C-alpha cells in the first residue's frame, strides 16, 4: 500500500471512528488498515491516533494533520476528475452547513430540489448557529451571514440581510416604543448567545442596550417566541422574524437606526478545482437565494 493509500486510510479511520469501519470503507482487511496507519505514523515520526480497547481518538498532531490531509486529497481528487472528465457530472456525498433557522427554512428546500435533479448525489447537512470550519470538519459548502474574514475559501455573494430590533405590540403598548437607541435603557431585552462565542451584542453601544436581559437563549426560535410573548425587545436578522412581522405579532422598532445590512455568501474550498457536486450546487443555490426578497433588503 503506497503513501497516498495510507493517507486515505487515516482519513477513513478518523471519520469512521474505528479501524474496522475504515477497512470496510476502503474495502481492505482490518489488519491492512492497521498496517497502513502504522506505516504512516512511522513515516511521520508522530502518533496520529491514540488507541484504547474501546475507542480511538486523534492526537493534537493528528487533528491538524487530518485537516491538511483532507484538503490535499480533495484537491487531488478534483484535479484528477477534471482531467479524466469525471468531474463534469455531480456525484458523491455533498456536505452542507448553514445557520440553523435559515438552513431549515431556505437551504433545506433548495437542497431537496438539487438532490431530485441529481440522483447520483447524496447529502449530509448540519444546521448550527456556530461557525463551522469547513476543512477541519469535512464540509463542502457553507452559507455565511456575516462579514467574512480573509481566508482561502471561495466566496459567492448572494445578497444581504437586514438587522432589526423587534418587540410585541402588547409590550410596546405597556412600556412605550423607544424612539432612539438611548431609550433602550428603559426597556427589557431578550438576549441571544452562541456556544463558544458568548452573547450577541445589540449593535449600538454599551450604553445603548436594554436595562436588563430577562432571558438569554441559544435558539433563535425560542428568542422569537419569547419576544412574541412580551418578554422584551430583541435583535434579530430579518429572516428570523419575517412571519411574525407580517402577521402583526412583532413590530420593527428603531428602523431609522438600523446598522448596515449583513452580507450573505456561499463559501467553499477549492475554487475552480472544487468537485462537480460542489460547483453545481453553489451555482444552483446562488440563483435560488438571490431570488429571495429577504436577501434584497425585505423583511
- Out of 84, 101, 126, a domain closes at 84
Same domain, 221 and 80: no
Query: Is pLDDT larger for residue 43 or for residue 214?
Result: 43
Q: Are residues 198 and 245 in the same domain?
A: yes
Domain of 223, CATH number, reads 3.40.190.10
30-68 as b/e, with b when 16 or more CB fall inside 10 Å?
eebbbebbebbbeeeeeebbeeeeeebebeeebeebbbe
- 57, 84, 111: which is the final residue of a domain? 84
Alpha helix ranges (H) inside 181-297: 220-228, 242-246, 276-290
Q: What's phi and psi for 64, nearest 5 deg? A: -70, -40
Question: What is the pLDDT confidence band of residue 259, given thresholds at 50, 70 and 90?
Answer: confident
Out of 28-32, 82-86, 251-255, 276-280, least confident range: 82-86
Pair 119, 59 in one domain = no
Residue whose C-alpha is closest to residue 125's, from 89, 93, 97, 153: 97
Looking only at the bridges linking them, the beta strands covering 198-199 and 188-194 are antiparallel
All three cell numbers of 73, joined, read 486529497
The model's pTM is 0.68
Residues 59 and 206 grouped into a single domain: no
Q: Provide the 10 A C-beta neighbour count for residue 133.
A: 12
pLDDT at 197 over 60: no
CA angle 220, 188, 257 (to 5 degrees): 75
Q: Are residues 125 and 71 in the same domain?
A: no
Alpha-carbon span 281 to 117, nearest angstrom: 11
Strands (E), the chain: 49-51, 56-58, 92-98, 121-127, 141-145, 154-161, 163-167, 188-194, 198-199, 212-217, 234-237, 251-253, 262-268
Residue (of 115, 72, 71, 111) closest to 92 by Cα position: 115
> Do 179 and 49 lie in a common domain?
no
Together in a domain, 130 and 266: yes
Q: Which three cell numbers stand for residue 117?
A: 435533479
Quick one: pLDDT at residue 172? 96
Identify whether residues 146 and 290 lie together within a single domain.
yes
92-98 vs 141-145, strand pairing mode: parallel
What SS3 class is residue 162?
Answer: coil
| Residue 81 binned pLDDT confidence (cut-offs 50, 70, 90) | low
Q: What is the mean pLDDT of the chain?
A: 86
pLDDT tens digit string along 29-64?
888 888 888 898 889 888 888 877 677 888 888 888
Same domain, 132 and 278: yes
Q: Of 84, 107, 131, which one is at a domain's C-terminal end?
A: 84
pLDDT at position 207: 45
Check residue 75 and give its pLDDT: 77
Going by pLDDT thresholds of 50, 70 and 90, the confidence category of residue 136 is confident
Q: Judge if 197 and 282 occupy the same domain.
A: no
Domain span at residue 206 reads 163-257
Same-domain check for residues 105 and 133? yes
Q: Do 172 and 253 belong to one domain?
A: yes
Total number of domains in the chain: 3
The reported pLDDT for the residue numbered 53 is 66
pLDDT in tens, 164-196: 999 999 999 999 999 988 888 889 999 888 764
Amino acid at each position: 500500500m503506497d503513501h497516498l493509500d495510507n493517507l486515505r486510510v487515516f482519513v477513513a479511520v478518523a471519520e469512521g471512528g474505528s479501524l474496522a469501519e475504515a477497512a470496510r470503507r476502503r474495502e481492505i482487511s482490518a489488519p491492512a488498515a492497521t498496517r497502513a496507519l502504522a506505516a504512516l505514523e512511522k513515516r511521520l515520526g508522530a502518533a496520529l491516533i491514540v488507541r484504547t480497547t474501546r475507542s480511538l481518538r486523534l492526537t493534537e498532531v493528528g487533528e491538524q494533520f487530518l485537516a491538511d490531509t483532507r484538503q490535499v486529497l480533495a484537491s487531488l481528487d478534483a484535479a484528477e476528475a477534471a482531467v479524466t472528465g469525471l468531474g463534469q457530472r455531480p456525484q458523491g456525498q455533498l456536505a452542507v452547513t448553514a445557520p440553523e433557522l435559515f438552513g431549515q427554512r431556505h437551504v433545506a428546500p433548495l437542497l431537496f430540489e438539487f438532490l431530485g435533479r441529481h440522483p447520483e448525489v447524496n447529502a449530509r447537512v448540519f444546521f448550527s448557529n456556530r461557525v463551522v470550519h469547513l476543512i477541519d470538519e469535512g464540509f463542502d459548502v457553507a452559507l455565511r451571514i456575516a462579514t467574512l474574514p480573509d481566508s482561502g475559501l471561495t466566496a459567492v455573494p448572494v445578497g444581504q440581510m437586514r438587522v432589526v430590533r423587534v418587540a410585541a405590540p402588547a409590550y410596546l403598548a405597556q412600556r412605550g416604543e423607544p424612539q432612539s437607541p438611548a431609550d433602550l435603557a428603559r426597556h427589557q431585552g431578550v438576549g441571544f448567545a452562541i456556544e463558544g462565542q458568548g452573547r450577541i451584542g445589540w449593535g449600538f453601544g454599551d450604553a445603548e442596550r436594554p436595562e436588563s436581559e430577562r432571558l438569554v437563549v441559544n435558539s433563535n426560535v425560542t428568542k422569537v417566541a419569547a419576544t412574541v410573548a412580551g418578554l422584551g425587545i430583541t435583535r434579530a436578522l430579518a429572516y428570523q422574524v419575517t412571519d411574525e412581522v407580517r402577521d402583526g405579532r412583532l413590530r420593527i422598532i428603531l428602523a431609522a437606526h438600523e446598522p448596515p445590512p449583513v452580507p450573505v455568501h456561499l463559501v467553499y474550498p477549492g475554487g475552480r478545482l472544487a468537485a462537480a457536486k460542489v460547483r453545481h450546487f453553489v451555482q444552483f443555490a446562488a440563483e435560488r437565494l438571490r431570488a429571495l426578497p429577504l436577501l434584497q433588503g425585505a423583511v
